[in-house]
A and B are shown apart, each in its own frame.
Chain A
Amino acid sequence: MSEEAAIRLSHVEQSRPHFQLGPITLEIPKGYVTAIVGPNGSGKSSTFRLLLELSKPDKGEITILGHRLGDGDDTKLKQRIGYLPELFGVHDKSMRGSYKTAFNRRWYPDWDLNRYRELLRVFEVDDSIRLGSMSKGTRRKYELALALAHHPELLLLDEPSSGLDPLAWRTMLDVLHRFMDSGDRTILMASHIVEEVKRLADYIVFMGHGRVLGVYEKDELFSNWHAFYIHSERFTRKDAEAIPGQCVIEETGGGTIRVVTKEAFAAEQWLEKEEVRLAGRQSLNLDDILAVLIEQERLRVRS
């Protein structure tokens, strides 16, 4: 990625009795939506906590919007960031939404009341209700309006669609697309909702076991990773090992071999040259790809 980075992590490590995060070196490009995808316990939330300075790394360095974390006063930096947490605390549940808003806006010089009102209208949220009485989805929509009302340059979203019904989900996607339209804003989100990543992300970061397994441009990822089905008596499992980019070979019964490749185009040309006829092909889903990457990482750690 040669683009300007909104977030830069270099050699970041954090050791905990039950979990080792990193070393992570990663750049989140400015002007794009990047999704961190990974199973539970892969280090997504720990990474978010580091970015928000809710915890500190043991080693390495984090730079956000040009400001190195831990370097003096970061109030100004925080004013340029919007954050939507995955879970909300219980301490404010007896508070009305409007009250929390009044408290929050004091921290942001760029707070825009009209923008906030507009978002509440679009999301159909009434902020005079107590936070504890809001449904999970309403609470999320309220918090997203709160996170967007000061026109942040960087938006951090932890599982943004959790709890939203399908219609609210579409509204949220629309709001986020519009947010990005100006071209110089950045979203980093953690998600394991496949459809959400497909609809929003430009770049995908795979995480597993506290490490970054790979960073991909989304469309390239989906056009490169395909599964081929080969049905031939002459073509064996052993032959399949020579297919470019192959990472999984399995027999699916009935004499058919399924081969997953991460170089679909090269693999297709190779098969054509070898005169192997394809019985079928399939583009892979995000979770299929994640499963392969996790498996490869597991084998790498073991060896």
Chain B
Amino acid sequence: MPPTNVSDPQYYHKVVDCQWACPAHTNVPQYLRLIGQGRYADSYLLNRESNVFPGILGRTCDRPCEPACRRGRVDEKPVAICRMKRVAADLRGDITDRLPTAPVQKNGKRVALIGAGPSSLTVANDLLPLGYDVTIYEKYSKPGGLMRFSIPAFRLPASVIDEECGYIIGMGAQMKYDTPISSMRALLDEGYDAIFVGTGAPHGKDLDVPGRHDAPTIHLGLDWLAGVHFGHIEQIEPRVLVIGVGNTAMDCCRTAKRVGATDVKVIARRGRKHFKASPWELEDAEHEGVVVVENHAPKRFVVQDGVLTGMEFDQLEWTEDANGRQKSKVVGTVVIPCDAVILAIGQDNALPWIEEGLGIEFAERHMPVVDKVTHQSTRPGLFFGGDAAWGPLNIIWAVEHGHQAAISIDLHCTGRPLTERPPVGMTLASAKLGMQAWSYNNDYNPSPRAEMQHEELVKRFSDVSIEVELGFTPEQAAREVERCLNCDIQTAFTDALCIECDACVDICPTSCLTMTAPAEEEAQLRRQLSAPAVNLDQALFVSGPLPQTKRLMVKDEDVCLHCGLCADRCPTAAWDMQRFDLKLVYAGQEGR
């Protein structure tokens, strides 16, 4: 194997599991350290650079970073990364004078954004400071999109949405509220330099089984949640079945408990390990008394004289064949009595307002053809992002789509090819302060993951807008920061300095280091390691030939604790701890 090219920013980036897993590549270890130093505002603003909505995401993110977190591979639970973002947001104080601003002199380019959800707002956030004239069309009367209308207020207070959307809109976006776009042709005729479609996936999937339209108490989840949000729906019947086990289903069942339902069941086709809902949301729902029913497939609604009395299900038994494919067998049927049903079995994007003949191609299932990198449709100057582009994902993906689309829009409007995208950069700076002294806290803190405090059940059911999670205390936050392994403080190796004394190999607590003979292939090299990794997702660092024996220094990045002991014990500073900072590039920042 050739020596690892550590001048490629992606090598060290991948070592920072959380940052690598985050669609927007938020610099997690650094924002955690800032929280640890009490620099909440700095931490908030660092978050905002990449994920734009730290307060919102600190409560609602799907947190792809946490399953990736290295701490989860060496300890029971990962760092509570997501809720730490909320700590930064809660304690940040007034940061308005540190937010980006739009120049008075505009650049003369007009951009239209359809939908005021996270992806469109991110586009606006990136383009307004460059002098773009940004117009946002929103069908409702407030910004936020699904963040506002489908996430109930007990998880995400409206004030947080108002504030963070307000930061962007306050830069001078022209808001056209209550203005649904009904014709793309008409919009194109207005002569915008670029148009971005960020209309999400607002269309709840229906369930076409007998009796669906025979009773008034059968609802589509997203519509029902929006109804509760707007106050159109203030109550639901006592016995409620929620069909589906995604996060929308979790929001529906918990909202139902707050508007009058006493007996709420969530019905799943399959077993628990296949549920789409985030485990913590499922846990919260069950804590609130929601009953989960597994392996039941809806068969028909039972309606008597126009009144829903129950729903009939096939009881399924699942088996797995040799290829891991799941097959079901009906083992019985059952009628579960209920007064209302909420369908939360998925959502689609809805783009019927885009006419044919505009050069905008669609693939199967009415999905637009969109370039994965540039976000451009088949019509130049027309871009898609968020759930509207490739179907339902989540908020953090929508934000990243917004960033990428903004880069494309800027390239498009300045007449440059969209493929000439600015590469990411990095800085690496030694964290050495002196003999065995480092600029980060390298000690390992064995504390367990911080437990979130929740509002008591009686109080939370009294009002749909009472926030359930109370957030971490500053003390909890400070301890949680210590659990972070500082994966961005990289172990940097200079092979020419190594005297092969074995000190680093001997001290490494997790046996990451091996000095071994060169090998042709990675698989062979992995077999030669003193402790081969279980998780093969992390790379091997391979040095050049060492001066004395021509062996290689191989570091398995998998469970490195970044404790710095290898560098502490290195007599020649062949190992150094260096802070890695990924330089993400946003619209208009090329060549920075």
The reply to whether chain A is a binding partner of chain B is no
